Amino acid sequence: MRLHLGSLAPFGGSSAAWPLVIGISLLLQATLTAATAIYQDQAGLADWQQKHIGVPILTQISRQGENTHIVVATDKNVLAVLDPLTDHLVWRHVLDANDTIQTLAVVGPRVVTLTTRFVRAWDLHTAFLIWEHRIVPSAAPAVAGLAAFPDLQDPAIVVLDADRRVTRYRAVDGTAQWATEAEDADVDYTRVFAAEGNVFLLGNDRAALAPSRVRLATIHLATGLFSSLYDTAPAHTPHELALLAPAADSAWLAWLAPEGLVVNRVGHPKLIRTFGTHDLGLSAEGLSGAVITTSDPSTTAGFLLTRSRATHAVTVTFDTYGYPVATASTVRDAMPNQLATVGTGAGGEPLVATLDAAADVVVVRVHSLSQSDHQLAITLPYPATTVGPAISLDFVPGTNFFGTAVLVRFASGRLVLADAQTIRWAREEALAHVVDFTWLDLPDAHRWSEDRDELAESPAVTESSGPVTRYLRRCAVHLNQLRSLVSSAGHAILPFLRILAPAITTSTAGPVFGAQDGDAFGIRKLAVFLSAPGTLVALDTLHGSVAWVLYLPALDVRLAGTKFTHLFTTRTAAARFPPIFSAVGRGDQNGVYVVRLDGLTGKVFTSDQFPEFLSVLPVSATHVYQLPFEEVIDRFHPLVFLYPDRETPARLRLLPNTPAVRKDIQHRAAHLTFLTGPMVPAALTSHALDAGSTLGGYQPVVTDLTSTDLPTLGLWTLPLATDERIVAVQPVSTNAAVASLGRVLGNRSVLYKYLNPGVVAVATMRSVTEQQTGESTGILGLYLVDAVSGALLHRAIHHGIAFDPAHHPVHLVGCENWLVYQYWSSAGHGSASSPVAAASGYVTVALDLYTSATPDTRGPASVFSSWQGLRPHVISQAFMLPEQVTALGVTTTRNGVAIREVVMALASGRIVGLPRVLLDPRRPLADPTEDQKLEGLMRYDPLLPNNPRWTLSHYHQVLGVQSLHSAPAKLESTSLVLAYGLDLFFTRVSPSGTFDRLSESFSKPMLLATLVALIASLFVAGPMVRRKALMEAWA
């Protein structure tokens, strides 16, 4: 039998189908290759982390051979080392909040830090702590200063502490070599420096008559012998003096005086020289400014910068006898109000940099003071509305002058390192100072499309548009939809392109959001953060990339000094209406400022109702609320500002303040209650722990629709003791979806949940003195209050807690009908019936609220009202957690069907998702019965287990977490979790498993292989079937 290839060709015997088979085979091979590599990339696709350090306040550049590092101390009390070539964070240490970094120095391969309580030495490359010494008692004020002697055969560190004690330490191992005290009782020494091989102190002489004088003292470096020298620099402070050439044989102090530049050799009161403006070749007002910065210790010539009507760089060199010689030069292209700095480049070349900020670009010009032809222009394409004004400039030397980079810090918190060729990296450190946060769901394509242009057209355009115009517009809409279809197809094959050519996906450009960006599963959202100075940052949750940044004070001069506290989504995305955010802050004059902006683009928003993007309310508001309904013009959720009033308990100012909004409030007044007090989410003032402050509920009273402000009626106040302080407030029942009204027990009966949306949990603290021991301990009070009527639903008291809300805060989280809170407990206190009564550590308490203790009982009335006084049946239980919790959260899903997890951010840097079943207060003390097993209850164990599988952050160490937020995806199984504080961390979790999508173990290549096999079988069986049918027809 002869086999012909043509006989195997299906459907007509054509051999042209073989390329199709070959193509499917190649596709199968590509899929199999992709499946072997995509599993490794899932960690970056499902979660991401951003490590932050805060805004630098101290900066040192370390040059060890060819390696350069940037050492910074930040306002978040973080010591960090940055790589100048990439945005890689080499290492960081987060120090205790009570141990603030005062100063730092780089001594060879060590970083020496001076804090309020310790002097420490860290390894520059490994971050290991080499040695540390406690220098003052913990209650002492901040220390004064530090001086380094890196060029000695045995490098040394000299520390001046707050007790006027000066101590010398070996830089290698921290051995204290000598200690002495400053003997001048009338001098407040605040500065220490090394010069001419000795230690010098500068301080204010309190005994001197006006004008004030600076006192100079010396300590012998070898013996520690103290000598008080003389007064110098009248009418100046120690920090206004510049130290010139400390590495030379003779060191000089320099300051600006009306007669010119004055220099004084350290330790020689008579060796003073004045360089007048005539000597320097300057005009009479040429040196009327202030010293900007001083010389680099690595150079043998000092130089400084002065400012007046022009910018001058004064270089001070030294002749063969060691005496100073000063020359001045005008810095070109520099204006008097520009930010400027001086420093050294490669080989100690003196450099000066000035910053010129235009509307859409920032230009840093670098000039050499020794070679006039050395000039650089570093361009930063940052508009002022994005970054604000520049705050500081620092040089990062390169291998030569043209490799010099500048480190620029902007008011928005952005930290940028750039050279003349490129921007090396940029960090958004405003994300380390977040005060409020909100999610933004990206619009769906069927609700947000090109059709909105037709819906938004003006009446004049509608009258002038004919059928032809509208037909052409419809064709354009269809072309855009076709373009979106092609783009969607490209996104579908993007995973294969990432595997075949990873270089095509390395772009760092921020996303541009539009109709095509809303995904079908709701995983991709915008996470929008607000910092206290007014920086808004929107991040794409897909990979954590920056969508847009806006610095609010740069939009209007009236926003200068405003402290922003709240961020509201006043309008969600819909056809014709883009999503709108409202940022709320308090100004210096106690006024309230509201800024409106487009949530998708970050641009300011105006409308016919709001012709300006900024609304200024001249009231001293203490609380702000967002109403749950929309007004009819712009579809905004109105904002309500509550401020104190002499005639009524409080008054309300509305935004927008229209008769229609007031009429809506009049209709809903009986259902609106505004919660006031410290620590409530609506508070505009600082969360001060003031004793005597309490909670209250206010209801609006609308009797006159023409009135500008609305009076209120005080409904209730929470009675607290005079020394009781509110430390935490948390609504128990949030807006999360509830899938069931009750809990089905093992015997098929039902315990109905107490689902009161007005329940608020309030945690209070007060200090008491034990009569037997005389020790001072704390008492924690937990109150469940109905926010509508003020009824006290439940009260729990815990004795023996740590009365330290700053270091041992109380954390609360609630959902549906349950509440979880954590506190620190001391040993030997608490209820005798509690298994954790004698334990000392962090206690986690879980509460469940039901309508009745009897199953199948829903209460006395079918319609629930807060005024009925129905109290819940509360079941509680305590557990021990071996770690401190810094934030609590709970997962939420679209319909509430999936089980919930209690998300905890631990002080160790882990984020864990604890199954709700472990925190069930109904867990039996003995072995569970059959009915309890059917219900899913397990035996009570006071110690919560530490299961690594519950760690949501995997190998990430997420530091300084202050808040946890969750949002539902469109998949019922999936919840999105975001943690922020010092770091940011985002992940998606499925507490009940991925029941609505294919599992990770599903073999997609096998499915494709099956399809290919079926198609191949059709190719083979088709001719056979046709031949058999033909033979049967001839038979």
Token output for 902:
């209690």
Residue with the bigger pLDDT between 230 and 626: it is 626
In which band, very low, low, confident or very high, does the pLDDT at 141 lie, cut at 50, 70 and 90? low
pLDDT of residue 36: 32
In which band, very low, low, confident or very high, does the pLDDT at 357 lie, cut at 50, 70 and 90? confident
pLDDT of residue 143: 58
pLDDT of residue 245: 61
β-pair partners for 47? 987
Q: How far is CA 378 from the centre of its chain?
A: 29
pLDDT in tens, 703-713: 888 888 899 99
Token output for 416:
């940028």
pLDDT in tens, 713-760: 999 999 888 888 899 999 887 778 888 888 999 889 999 999 888 899
Q: How many CA atoms lie within 13 A of 235 on its CB side?
A: 4
Residue with the bigger pLDDT between 541 and 316: it is 541
Rounded to an integer, the average pLDDT of 203-209 is: 73
Which secondary-structure segment (H or E) carries 456? Answer: none
pLDDT in tens, 934-956: 988 999 999 998 888 899 988 88
pLDDT in tens, 1001-1010: 788 888 889 9
Coil, helix or strand for 604?
strand
pLDDT in tens, 425-462: 999 999 999 999 999 988 875 555 444 455 555 566 66
In which band, very low, low, confident or very high, does the pLDDT at 489 lie, cut at 50, 70 and 90? low
What is the C-alpha to C-alpha distance for residues 807 and 629, in angstroms, rounded to an integer? 40
Token output for 569:
């989504």
Rounded to an integer, the average pLDDT of 787-802 is: 89
pLDDT of residue 565: 93
- For residue 492, pLDDT beyond 90: no
β-pair partners for 710? 652
Evaluate if pTM is beyond 0.95: no
Residue 571 φ then ψ, to 5°: -155, 130
β-pair partners for 443? none
Residue with the bigger pLDDT between 287 and 80: it is 80
For the chain, give the mean pLDDT. 81
Rg (CA), the chain: 35
Sequential DSSP letters for 788-832: TT--EEEEEEEEEE---TTTS--EEEEETTEEEEEEEE-TT-S-T
In which band, very low, low, confident or very high, does the pLDDT at 306 lie, cut at 50, 70 and 90? low
pLDDT of residue 74: 95
What is the C-alpha to C-alpha distance for residues 61 and 146, in angstroms, rounded to an integer? 17
What is the C-alpha to C-alpha distance for residues 532 and 552, in angstroms, rounded to an integer? 11
Chain position carrying tokens 């409904």: 715
Which secondary-structure segment (H or E) carries 445? Answer: none
What is the C-alpha to C-alpha distance for residues 366 and 343, in angstroms, rounded to an integer? 10
Helix and strand numbers, DSSP H then E, in the chain: 12, 62
In which band, very low, low, confident or very high, does the pLDDT at 2 lie, cut at 50, 70 and 90? very low
What is the C-alpha to C-alpha distance for residues 971 and 165, in angstroms, rounded to an integer? 64
- For residue 13, pLDDT beyond 50: no
Burial class (CB in 10 A: 0-12, 13-18, 19+), 2: exposed
**What is the percent of the chain with per-residue pLDDT over 70, rounded to a whole number?**
81
In which band, very low, low, confident or very high, does the pLDDT at 293 lie, cut at 50, 70 and 90? low
CB atoms within 10 A of CB 760: 25
- For residue 1000, pLDDT beyond 90: no
- For residue 770, pLDDT beyond 80: no
Burial class (CB in 10 A: 0-12, 13-18, 19+), 157: buried
The closest alpha carbon to 842, from 804, 883, 887, 799, belongs to 883
Residue with the bigger pLDDT between 200 and 205: it is 200
pLDDT of residue 496: 44
pLDDT of residue 503: 37
Q: How many CA atoms lie within 13 A of 651 on its CB side?
A: 12
Exposure pattern of 601-626 as b/e (b: 16+ CB <10 Å)?
bbebbeeeebeebbbebebebbbbbb
What is the C-alpha to C-alpha distance for residues 741 and 752, in angstroms, rounded to an integer? 6
Rounded to an integer, the average pLDDT of 824-845 is: 65
- For residue 332, pLDDT beyond 80: no
pLDDT of residue 780: 92
pLDDT of residue 12: 43
pLDDT of residue 31: 45
Chain position carrying tokens 């400084």: 304
Residue with the bigger pLDDT between 620 and 476: it is 620
Q: Give the CA dihedral 329, 331, 336, 338, nearest 10 degrees.
A: -140
- For residue 994, pLDDT beyond 90: no
Which of 11-20, 104-113, 861-870 bottoms out in mean pLDDT, i.e. has the lowest?
11-20
pLDDT of residue 399: 85
- For residue 775, pLDDT beyond 50: yes
Angle at 818 between CA 815 and CA 823, to 5 degrees: 100
In which band, very low, low, confident or very high, does the pLDDT at 11 lie, cut at 50, 70 and 90? very low
Q: Where are the beta strands (DSSP E) in 397-522?
A: 405-410, 414-418, 423-428, 434-441
- For residue 584, pLDDT beyond 80: yes
- For residue 645, pLDDT beyond 70: yes
- For residue 985, pLDDT beyond 70: yes
pLDDT in tens, 69-79: 999 999 999 99
- For residue 847, pLDDT beyond 80: yes
Cβ proximity of 312 and 282 under 8 Å? yes
Q: Contacts by 636-642 with C-beta closer than 8 Å and gap 24+?
A: 636/570, 636/571, 636/580, 637/568, 637/569, 637/570, 637/571, 638/664, 639/568, 639/570, 639/582, 639/584, 639/594, 640/674, 640/700, 641/592, 641/617, 642/674, 642/676, 642/682, 642/698, 642/712
Which of 71-80, 273-282, 354-363, 1023-1032 bottoms out in mean pLDDT, i.e. has the lowest?
273-282
- For residue 595, pLDDT beyond 90: yes
pLDDT in tens, 872-901: 999 999 999 888 999 999 999 999 888 899
Which of 159-173, 331-345, 572-586, 616-630 bottoms out in mean pLDDT, i.e. has the lowest?
331-345
- For residue 811, pLDDT beyond 90: yes
